[in-house]
Chains A and B, each alone.
Chain A
């Protein structure tokens, strides 16, 4: 049996190092790495129960755990333990797709391309590691490893305020990481787990008292929540997005925000059920506030990237709500939404990056009527916006529908809050389209031309996934439901 996950880790590690060293050929190395990565993810899917072509002879489900002792002194047993279940598999697919799209989109990056592509690959590598790690210390290592390349991507390739934004991003997420680490270590030590492994903690954490669980849950929630981000710890996000280069924004919105949600599911919800139960009201309040706040603030933004950034807060608020519901349907909805938001927000960030390249500004009132000049870009913005506001046949709809259904199931009429906010969400996207895409031409430089092939291709990849899983969400659902522990009928 092939240790597929470790093979992927090796691929990504080698690819990242080679990309850093490849000089002017870095983009080819990055692309080759990405394609190999995609092929390996495809193999992972093929080997996963729940996928149509599953062949059980290849790899068993969550039990695909590979575990090697790493640090073992006295009472401390840290292992290199990795494994996937349906939830992490879907997010790994997201990682691979976004890595491909980012590499293609940045094809003509001129500013130190080797370092740029290397950092992009390093970010994706870190995210992949977070999604597979089943050991506290390994998880934390990968978690922090994501922070550093993103810091440099924002701080070196970013816009005029990049230093401020990069520092803000770093301080926020790092403070959160520390609180998270304290929570996790408390979890390991108080539960008396035999090792740092997920399964060991899972076996022992249930015995913790409800009060203790609540405190740990709160620490973990804060740690993961800042990455979500939750209101009021969200202000790093718009700044980071506005200043980050397009590739950085794509990874930030598409992957980094998902790390928070994934961490919350894997390390807090699964391990501390009675902590979640006690803290449920807090989570509800935070989720509702984030949903409303993100959407209402999007309405007032002038910068297209800021608008999409605030809409991310709104969407991640729905993810948080779905997680907080503490039902299997809610978790399913949360994971679907994470995937959907990853694809769609990446598409919209790429589109706003292209708007910036083409028109020299992302200020929505400054450019108008761009459709005749840039029909392709205009169509892509439209697809992205419509997907984001939840149009059926595009990926967000099944996700949002499931989330609303789950909310209704648990909270009954409270579902009106996200429902009404759906109108506001439709409002700001449509208003943005009205101002930018339609109307008489305004503020268009004479040199403006439609998107170059690589940017178009990158976005086309994302559109393809948006449509594919919008029409056939069952492909993802079957995989997600094949996760043990959640009450899913998994392995």
Chain B
């Protein structure tokens, strides 16, 4: 297998993370924010996969294992996030995050 340069993979995941971050900061729709978070998260998971692949021995396996665990975490996180969306919609009648400012001092 021809070794692709690691920097390309890192650039890919960085770009993915930047897209996610951009979404988190600019979207006001809670569901879109959640999707953006997932994108950023997947960027991180991708990193684990690369680095796992580029490492030898058990360290390589560890990267893959963490990636799998994180995929599971991402799923649970989405579940919790959507539950919050539902609750917010029920209480406020909106899923705009700018309206959910009850924590303001």
A–B direct contact (CB < 8 Å): no
Interface residues of A (CB under 8 A from B): none
Interface residues of B (CB under 8 A from A): none
